[in-house]
Amino acid sequence: MGVQRLAVVAGFGVERVTVEGQRHATDMAITTALAAGPDTMMLSFDTDAAKERLEAVPWIRHAQVMRLLPSTLQVVIEEREPYAVWQTKGKTFVVDDQGVVLAPALPQAYPDLPLVVGEGASKNASALYAALEPYGELRDKMLAALRVGDRRWTLKLRTGMEIMLPDDNIEVALQSLTKLAQERGVLEEDFAAIDLRLLDRITVRFHETAAANQSGTAVPIDVPTASTGATSKGKT
């Protein structure tokens, strides 16, 4: 009988595993990563290697593995928090605030999480929603945030309206939009899009049917801009 087997028989084998902090990670994922069974000898079990394997599980941000002699392994994990639902290339995932993919997911499984779409959307979502934090009314109207060319965002509202944000200075653009919404009620209008990509000019675009009813005539709108404090003429 080998030394390890003698130790197990003597009562130094793993008989019990306790796990703290588990909410989303599956039992199978944790058990597989821990790799400790009835024939595992407590004294030679590599807790550092087990920690590394556990932290390779997508849901687990940090892990701690401790031996409690004679026969218990204690596992304490800190899980990543679901932050957004990311849709890309026809597939949908739940991600954390750093864009780490946690698991495949349907949007309806996480109705309270924002939906972000497109390449680069997962890694840039937290910065976007930090900028949107003061604008609760706008966030409540949003259906999704679309990442365009992995350089800027377009906000898709539940009404179908699109808010086209600039590459940079999102905060300035949102201030201009908020002022325009308060003074002109543009978020309640039946516009196809509001273009904020140029900080000194805001352009609104009608739906094609509405534009046709205008006989193709461009309709100017006085738009206050946060960057200049002045107004500029936007055209459909």
Tens of pLDDT, residue by residue over 131-144, are 999 999 999 999 99
What is the C-alpha separation between 93 and 81, in angstroms, rounded?
A: 13
- Domain 84-234 in CATH 3.40.50? The answer is yes
Residue 60 has pLDDT above 90, yes or no: yes
Tell the CATH topology of 3-79: Ubiquitin-like (UB roll) (3.10.20)
Q: Which of 1-15, 67-81, 158-172, 181-195 has the lowest mean pLDDT?
A: 1-15
CB atoms within 10 A of CB 63: 25
What is the C-alpha separation between 127 and 58, in angstroms, rounded?
A: 21
pLDDT tens figures, 66-124: 999 999 999 999 999 999 999 999 999 999 999 999 999 988 889 999 999 999 999 99
Rounded mean pLDDT, 136-158: 96
pLDDT at 222: 53
Q: Residue 3: pLDDT band by 50, 70, 90 thresholds?
A: very low
Q: Where are the domains of the chain?
A: 3-79, 84-234
What is the C-alpha separation between 27 and 2, in angstroms, rounded?
A: 31
Check residue 225 and report its DSSP letter.
-
160 Cβ partners below 8 Å, 6+ apart?
A: 192
pLDDT at 200: 85
Rounded mean pLDDT, 15-31: 95
pLDDT at 152: 97
Q: Looking at the DSSP assignment, which residues form a beta bridge with residue 231?
A: 224
pLDDT at 214: 53
pTM for the model stands at: 0.79
Cβ atoms of 76 and 21 within 8 Å: the answer is yes
| Pair of tokens at residue 98 | 């750093």
